[in-house]
Amino acid sequence: MLFSFLPDGQVLAKGPANPGHGALECADCHDSAPGTVRQQVQAAVAFGLGLREAPPLVGRLPVSSGVCLDCHERERDVHPTRDFVEPKYLDEREEIAAHECLTCHKEHSGRHVANTGQYCYACHQNQGLIENPIQPTHPALVASERWDTCLRCHDYHGNHEWVEPRTLEDAIDGRSVLRHLDSGAPLYGEKIEPASSGRTR
Amino acid sequence: MFSRVSALLGLMALCIYLFVTAPPPLEDGGQVTSSATVSIAKAFTVLAVENDGARKIWTDEIVGAGQKVGLRFDEHWADEGMEAGPLPALFLAETARQIQRISTDLTLSLGSDAPIVPKHLFRGPQATAFATLRATGAPQFFEDADLGRQVAMFPDLASAAACVTCHNAHEDSPRHDWVLGEIMGATTWTYPRASVSLAEILELAKVYRAGTRRAYERYLERAGSFEVPPEIGDRWPRDGERVLPSADEFMRAVEGAVSSRTVEALFEAARAR
């Protein structure tokens, strides 16, 4: 907490900023915890002495998806994180925390997507996929667990002017996908810019 | 001797800092004091009243009357090049999407135990609550133990012939024997807090209305791109022409239809404090 007084918050960062976030200050994403530093210290001491039920929030708050969406609101999103707060998605939340932006876009990792981008199985191995005239077929890809191929055709958020190819031969090559996950290099064409959302956070 | 005095003074200062001249202690859990005194169930009920009214006007006045004057409505309405508007369930889905763009807290969704789209199938606690809802017809309220969010489920009825005929005829529908008036599914609302203030309920209703307006505006944008766009103004399809009410006109009708029931639900919430 004492380090909160340091002028350059980057000293405290867990790692390098993700692509596009280099110019952000800590406070751009991390809201302050309620109360003054002294109140927080006193509450922490009280908790330590058993005089308080819950530990206080101290320093800066963890970042929620709502904070991300303040800047990254999309006109169109085929996998909005908010969908996954519905109780029925318990298994998917436990498996991949699909309701949190940070599951994939883990900040301070220096990467655009901090995993392999092969999370589609969590929902789509059970829910089925639309059988449409593509080669190989979706059921065939699922049966052979080719989860590495999903992002070669599908824009996960669906917020780009992207026409999905019909065959893997016409799809984006795997190396380009990995480069996109690493650096955020454009992969699916022009972004569809959102209209003003008037978010109330 | 001097060091002992210093240590004693230091200890006293630390004790004062930590315990004595304290500012007001933080509330347990880090929450600030609020005037939240109304059960979230009351807020959900207000929202359900609003939603029922908007859905009825969309279903009867836009879809039902619109089809009679040549307007089309389709499950693939949002696809490029489609000259159609959203069917009732999809208008609700669009409203839900717009709500989520406005509020980071409130969510709305539509599901069923026999949905056309598999991802809309209720599972887990929602399936259990829906079984009770189907048996009793009563809304269900519970807390999602995983996220600690408050959940409400309200019956979604086959209120128009189009609901029944479309679902019965759809090749992906697991059921083909729906009847008018039957509970086809449920709307699910979620919110992170168990208690709210009356002001917060009004804010939630405002968010719902804004979401409805944006969903309708999105349809108007699509209609404006039709090869022969319908005239948009103060007339309705029920007037017998291929026209659409403006967003202002549509929302006036929704507000006129729901406001008295919404106010009654608000008074009910106030009485329950």
Which residues touch B66 (CB under 8 Å, ≥6 apart)? B73, B85, B237, B244
Model confidence over A78-103: pLDDT tens digits? 898 988 999 999 999 999 999 999 99
CB B99 within 8 A of CB B211: yes
Q: What is the mean pLDDT of residues A125-130?
A: 70
Please list every residue in chain A whose beta carbon sits closer than 8 Å to the beta carbon of residue B125: 87-88, 90
Asked if A195 and A71 touch (Cβ cutoff 8 Å), the reply is no
Position of tokens 């315990």? Answer: B19
Convert chain A into a string of H (helix), E (strand) and C (coil): CHHHHCCCHHHHCCCCCCCCCCCCCHHHHCCECCCCHHHHHHHHHHHHCCCCCCCCCCCECCCCHHHHHHHHCCCCCCCCHHHHHCHHHHHHHHHHCCCCHHHCCCCCCCCCCCCCCCCCHHHHHHHCCCCCCCECCHHHHHHCCCCCCHHHHCCCCCCECCCCCCECCCCCCHHHHHHHHHHCCCCCCCECCCCCCCCCC
Quickly state the pLDDT bin for B70 (edges 50, 70, 90): very high
| DSSP secondary structure letter of residue B1 | -
* Facing residue for B107 by CB, picked from A39, A86, A199: A86
Confirm whether A95 is domain-assigned.
yes
pLDDT band for position A1 (50/70/90)? Answer: very low
At which residue do the structure tokens 């058993």 appear?
Answer: A50
Task: Output B17 or A111, whichever has higher pLDDT.
Answer: A111
Of the candidates B24, B29, B147, which has its C-beta nearest A54's C-beta? B29
Whole-structure pTM value: 0.82
Give domain status of residue A195, yes or no.
Answer: no
How confident is residue A3, by pLDDT bands cut at 50, 70 and 90? Answer: very low
Q: Do A39 and B23 touch (CB under 8 A)?
A: yes
Q: Which residues of B touch A (CB under 8 A)?
A: 17-19, 22-26, 28-32, 97, 100-105, 107, 109, 111, 118-119, 121-127, 144, 146-147, 149, 151, 188, 190, 203, 207, 210
pLDDT tens per residue, range A32-75: 888 888 888 888 888 898 888 888 888 888 888 888 888 888 77
pLDDT at position B20: 63
Number of structural domains, chain A?
1
CA distance B238 to chain A (A): 31
- For residue B6, with 0-12 CB atoms within 10 Å meaning exposed, 13-18 middle and 19 or more buried, which class applies? exposed
* Contact present, A86 and B109 (Cβ < 8 Å): yes
Residue A37: inside a domain: no
Residue A158 has pLDDT above 80, yes or no: yes
Q: For B100, which of A39, A57, A82 is closest by C-beta distance?
A: A82
User: What was the ipTM of the complex prediction?
Assistant: 0.78
Given the structure tokens 């901090």, which residue do they identify? A114
Cα–Cα separations (whole angstroms), residue B135 to A150, B94, B155: 41, 29, 11
For an interface test with A, which of B101, B103, B150 has the most A Cβ atoms less than 10 Å from its Cβ? B101
Residue-number span of the structural domain to which A97 is assigned: 2-30+63-183
How high is the pLDDT of residue B85? 96
Interface of A with B (CB under 8 A): 33-36, 38-43, 45-46, 52-54, 56-57, 64-66, 69, 73, 80, 82-83, 85-88, 90-91, 93-94, 99, 123, 127-128, 194, 197-201
* Distance (Å, whole) CA B77 – CA B221: 12
In a domain, A24, yes or no: yes
The answer to whether residue A179 sits within a structural domain is yes
How many C-beta atoms surround the C-beta of residue A138 within 10 A?
Answer: 16
* Pair B183, B159: CB distance under 8 Å: no
How much is the average pLDDT of B185-200?
95
Q: How confident is residue B1, by pLDDT bands cut at 50, 70 and 90? A: low
Give me the amino acid identity at B153.
M
